[in-house]
Amino acid sequence: MPRKNLIRTAQFPYHVTLRSNNKDWFELPLSLMWALCKQSIAKAQACYPTNIEAFVLMANHYHLLIWTPNSDLDKFMYVLNSAISKEIRTRTNRINRIFGDRYKWTLVDHERYYLQVLRYIYQNPVKSQITSTSHDYPFSTLRYIYLNEDFGTPIYNCNEARKLLLEGFFERDLHKREIIAKALLRSSFNYPKRSSSRRAI
């Protein structure tokens, strides 16, 4: 199947995913992979400024919610994935390709879909039964939001609904944290529904 043409936009974010070759686990510990990913994100942003809203690293893939003010997702992703691949090869002496295919993207152009994507990204570790709560997973930007820690590059926050959803993390209020944690485990968020065509993530 031919690769779909990139829809260039600065108005809406993209949900980006990329898997390792043959879906094998990365050959490095996830803690080291996480450090390499953060370093590579900073490198790519220095070349092509973007706004990272969510990033979750799993054992053989990652999820990214990203805004591109200059409509240059392809250029950013090239630098990002090249940097990650180079670092892995340096540490493992691997010759074969690191990632199985080029990254996949979907344009997140509606609020309901945006909330679904955000929830899907952050709940990946929970659905994989790695952790019981999304904010406890260490290889996720949500963890940094929850603990009010520095991710290395700013974690973008543009959507008012998301601000309301995560305000408990920023205020560090225990009761609100519990509310947010429960919200992330529900099948859907309690926001007003708007009529729109549903999209698969």
Contact 19, 60 (CB under 8 A): yes
Query: Tell me: the pLDDT tens digits for 12-66?
Result: 889 998 877 545 556 678 889 899 999 999 999 999 999 999 999 998 889 999 9
Contact 82, 171 (CB under 8 A): no
pLDDT at residue 182, rounded to an integer: 60
Regarding predicted confidence, which is higher, 77 or 28? 77
* Per-residue DSSP letter, 99: B
Q: Considering the domain 14-185 in this protein, what is its CATH number?
A: 3.30.70.1290
Claim: this prediction has a pTM higher than 0.95: no
Helix (H, G, I), strand (E, B) or coil at 52: strand
CA distance 141 to 59: 16
- Phi, psi for residue 90 in degrees, rounded to 5: -60, -35
CA distance 191 to 57: 27
Contact 76, 105 (CB under 8 A): no
Ranking 35-44, 95-104, 190-199 by mean pLDDT, the lowest is 190-199
Checking DSSP bridges between strand 14-19 and strand 104-107, what pairing results, if any? Answer: antiparallel
Question: Which residue type occupies 120?
Answer: Y
pLDDT at residue 168, rounded to an integer: 38
pLDDT at residue 19, rounded to an integer: 78
Query: Tell me: the pLDDT tens digits for 126-175?
Result: 888 888 888 889 999 998 888 888 998 888 876 544 554 454 333 444 45
**How many helices and strands, by DSSP H and E, does the chain display?**
6, 4
